[in-house]
Amino acid sequence: MDDRILEASLYTIKAVAILDNDGERIISRYYDDTFATVKEQREFEKNLFQKTSRQNAEIIMLDGLTVVYRSNVDLYFYVMGSQYENELILVSVLNAFFDAVSTMLRKNVEKRFLMDHLDVVLLAIDELVDGGVILEADSNNIVQRVAVKTDADVPLTEQTVAQVLQSAKEQLKWSLLK
């Protein structure tokens, strides 16, 4: 088979991952056997983190994969595909992924908050990609389908003063840290 042309297939995504700012895995899903063992996956993630954490370049080629990524505060979001994959498709998936998580976490895309709502994030990834096939690439649809009521969903008027102050403080803190 000529390697310049990618086989027409629905199997597009090789992996998605969220790493923290030490390069440790928070969640990663691998959809084929590019990396056969967890050990290989972790090694790849370490390597990937090293290459991507310092420069915000959005796209990188690594170990025969095309990887697109985005970072926010202390989190790194990755979407990976074959090196012959249409890069723009991968980016559209990454954006849907990031935007969906961001909406569901009420813009608090940071590790502590994400860990508190890990169930929601797991469900979002499940709605995003199914076994390597892009299932939904519209962040609004993903949020709608996950339809999880988090604490953050309580309308502002119904929150206690303490809650409002707390969230205001958080937002200020992170905007200063950025």
Partner 1 sequence: MLKKEKKDEEGGKSSNPFQNLDKSTVLQESRVFNETPINTRKCIHILCKVIYLINQGVQFGTTEATETFFAMTKLFQSKDITLRRMCYLAIKELANIAEDVIIVTSSLTKDMTGKEDMFRASAIRALCKITDSQMLTGIERYMKQAIVDRNASVSSASLVSSLHLLKPNFDVVKRWVNEAQEAVSNDNVMVQYHGLGLLYHVKQNDKLAVSKLITKLSRQTLKSPYAYCLLVRIAAKYIDEDPESTENAALYDFLESCLRQKSELVIYEAARALVNLKNIKTKDLQPAVSVLQLFLSSPRPTLRFAAVRTLNKVAILQPQSVMTCNLDLENLITDVNRSIATLAITTLLKTGSENSVDR
What are phi and psi for residue 86, nearest 5 degrees?
Answer: -65, 115
Helix (H) or strand (E) holding 29: strand 25-30
Q: Is 61 in the site for partner 1 (CB under 8 A)?
A: yes
CA-to-CA distance for 146 and 48, rounded, in angstroms? Answer: 29
Span interacting with partner 1, options 97-105, 128-136, 155-163, 164-172, rule CB under 8 A: 128-136
Helix (H) or strand (E) holding 19: strand 13-20
Binding track over 73-102 against partner 1, x by CB under 8 A: -------------xxxx-xx----------
Q: Is 22 in the site for partner 1 (CB under 8 A)?
A: no
Cβ neighbours of residue 96 under 8 Å, at least 6 residues apart?
A: 128, 136, 137, 138, 139, 142
Q: Is 154 in the site for partner 1 (CB under 8 A)?
A: no
Binding site for partner 1 (CB under 8 A): 2, 4-10, 25, 27-29, 38, 41-42, 55, 57-61, 68, 86-89, 91-92, 111-112, 115-116, 118-119, 122-123, 126, 130-131, 133-138, 141, 145-149
